[in-house]
């Protein structure tokens, strides 16, 4: 086992703190006031919060006034997936939730909707939401129950495939519905603009872009229609999410958002080169390797692959022994390695299993070379095992 160095290639699970974020957090420890207090210390905390809100909004082309800070993307999902919205002071009924079959569990669970009022929309073999199926579902929606709400992620967390969100938005709005977009894996990897996408709500998370864990945001295109609050109390975040804001984490989130926006183009170019090098080497070493979504538009940091004959658990452990940290899909189930609902939705046998390599700001050429060296050993052992069998 390699005990000297480790190579971290699981950035989709969580990104290590960026150096600029770490430095900002140290300084933010001296921000003592409650942002709701009117004295000097409170105003200083509020100013820091407002600056972070502007940076988070700018990352997605939104307005600072439309950012609601939460404890993370899961809370933001549960907040917005509500059968009751408010239009001003009047209640607005949402009759049914439609979600793509490849959504993160935080969305697939349906938030505050009863399971009977949640419908999954199929995806194609390419891992893209089936727009025809979405259109048919919306056409059959019973408008007497309330408006439809649709959830479509912008980038899939396992495959890295970019979804046709703008096209979905046109279908949703033609049916008078609302569109929720999980942009957690998209921000910092592709340009994201809430207006261009036609999303009514975007969900993002701090720790996926090198900020601290425990903070996320729900960003709306406007303030006319907002979900019924999930957490009640002192009325912070304009009454949308009560509880004293996590000022320290939010400051770090703001710095991470600013860094992601500033470095987007250069990082995309750099990471794309590393991704191509990695995948070319994998195919040369094991021609039967399956890179899921290879022919679809993907973000440049994600490689989700199946090596026939290698179980996910076995592969993850084998790479770990070689000093390479990767995952067997989404890191959202307390360390469990289960079958991928994304592979199932794409028509693959989930028992084949798959491993995910995801790159980030600190990933180097040496890291990719180490991953290729580990892959070489593991693929070689697999070949010998298959031949022996």
Kindly state whether residue 286 falls inside one of the protein's structural domains: yes
- pLDDT higher than threshold 50 for residue 3: no
Q: How far apart are CA 5 and CA 367, in angstroms?
A: 10
Residue 315 sits in the same domain as residue 282: yes
Mean per-residue pLDDT of the chain: 94
Q: Is there a single domain that holds both residue 204 and residue 104?
A: yes
Co-location of 381 and 330 in the same domain: yes
Are 312 and 186 in a shared domain?
A: no
For residue 115, count CB atoms less than 10 angstroms from its CB and return exposed for 0-12, middle for 13-18, buried for 19 or more: exposed
- Which residue numbers are catalytic? 332
pLDDT, tens only, 94-138: 999 999 999 999 999 999 999 999 999 999 999 999 999 999 999
What confidence category does residue 334 fall into, taking pLDDT thresholds of 50, 70 and 90? very low
pLDDT in tens, 229-250: 999 999 999 999 999 999 999 9
Residues 134, 230, single domain; the answer is yes
pTM, whole model, 2 decimals?
0.94
Same domain, 36 and 148: yes
Q: Residue 89 sits in a domain of what CATH number?
A: 3.40.640.10
Number of domains the chain is built from: 2
Please name the helix (run of DSSP H) or strand (run of DSSP E) that holds residue 196, with its range, or none: helix 194-197
The answer to the question of residue 180 being in a domain is yes
Question: What confidence tens digit (pLDDT) does each residue in 31-68 have?
Answer: 999 999 999 999 999 999 999 999 999 999 999 999 99
Residue 198 located in a structural domain = yes
Confidence band (pLDDT; 50, 70, 90) for 351? confident
Q: Are residues 215 and 119 in the same domain?
A: yes
Domain boundary among the residues 258, 293, 308 is at 258
The answer on 276 and 149 residing in a single domain is no
* pLDDT tens profile 177-222: 999 999 999 999 999 999 999 999 999 999 999 999 999 999 999 9
Q: Which residue, 237, 258, 279, sits at the end of a domain?
A: 258
Query: What pLDDT is recorded for position 339?
Result: 77
Kindly report the number of other CB atoms within 10 A of residue 377's CB atom: 13
> Within this chain, do residues 171 and 283 fall inside the same structural domain, yes or no?
no
**Whole-number CA gyration radius for the chain:** 22
End position of a domain, from candidates 233, 258, 283? 258
Whether the predicted pLDDT of 335 surpasses 70: no
pLDDT band (50, 70, 90) for residue 388: low
Q: Which domain holds residue 318?
A: 7-16+264-388
Q: How many CB atoms lie within 10 A of CB 348?
A: 18
pLDDT in tens, 62-102: 999 999 999 999 999 999 999 999 998 899 999 999 999 99
Is the same domain home to 225 and 292? no
Statement to judge: residues 253 and 138 lie in one domain:
yes
Q: Are residues 223 and 347 in the same domain?
A: no
Is residue 1 in some structural domain? no
Question: Domain containing 307 — which CATH number?
Answer: 3.90.1150.10
* Helix count and strand count (H, E) for the chain: 11, 14
């Amino acid at each position: 086992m390699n005990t000297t160095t480790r190579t971290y290639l699981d950035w989709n699970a969580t990104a290590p703190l960026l150096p600029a974020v770490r430095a900002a957090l140290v300084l933010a420890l001296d921000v003592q006031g409650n942002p709701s207090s009117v004295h000097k210390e409170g105003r200083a905390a509020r100013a820091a919060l407002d600056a972070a809100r502007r940076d988070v909004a700018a990352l997605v082309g939104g307005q600072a006034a439309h950012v609601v800070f939460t404890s993370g993307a899961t809370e933001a999902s549960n907040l917005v997936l509500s059968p009751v919205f408010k239009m001003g002071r009047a209640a607005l009924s949402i009759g049914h939730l439609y979600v793509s079959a490849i959504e993160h569990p935080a969305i697939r669970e349906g938030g505050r909707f009863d399971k009977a009022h949640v419908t999954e929309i199929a995806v194609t073999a390419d891992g893209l939401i089936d727009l025809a199926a979405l259109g048919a579902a919306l056409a059959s929606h019973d408008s007497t129950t309330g408006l439809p709400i649709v959830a479509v992620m912008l980038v899939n967390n396992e495959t890295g495939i970019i979804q046709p969100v703008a096209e979905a938005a046109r279908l949703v709005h033609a049916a008078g519905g609302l569109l929720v977009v999980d942009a957690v894996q998209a921000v910092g990897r592709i340009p994201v603009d809430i207006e261009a996408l036609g999303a009514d709500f975007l969900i993002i998370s701090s720790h996926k872009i090198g900020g601290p864990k425990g903070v996320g945001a729900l960003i709306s295109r406007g303030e006319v229609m907002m979900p019924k609050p999930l957490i009640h109390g002192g009325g912070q975040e304009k009454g949308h999410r009560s509880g004293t804001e996590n000022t320290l984490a939010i400051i770090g989130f703001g710095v991470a958002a600013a860094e992601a926006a500033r470095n987007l183009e250069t990082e995309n170019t750099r990471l794309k080169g590393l991704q191509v090098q990695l995948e070319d080497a994998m195919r040369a070493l094991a021609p039967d390797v399956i890179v899921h979504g290879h022919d679809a538009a993907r973000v440049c940091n994600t490689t989700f692959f199946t090596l026939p004959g290698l179980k996910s658990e076995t592969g993850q452990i084998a790479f770990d022994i070689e000093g390479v940290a990767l995952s067997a899909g989404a890191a959202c189930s307390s360390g469990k390695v289960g079958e991928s609902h994304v592979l199932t939705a794409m028509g693959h046998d989930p028992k084949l299993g798959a491993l995910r390599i995801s790159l980030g700001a600190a990933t180097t050429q040496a890291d990719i070379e180490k991953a290729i060296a580990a892959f070489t050993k593991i693929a070689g052992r697999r070949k010998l095992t298959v031949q022996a069998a």
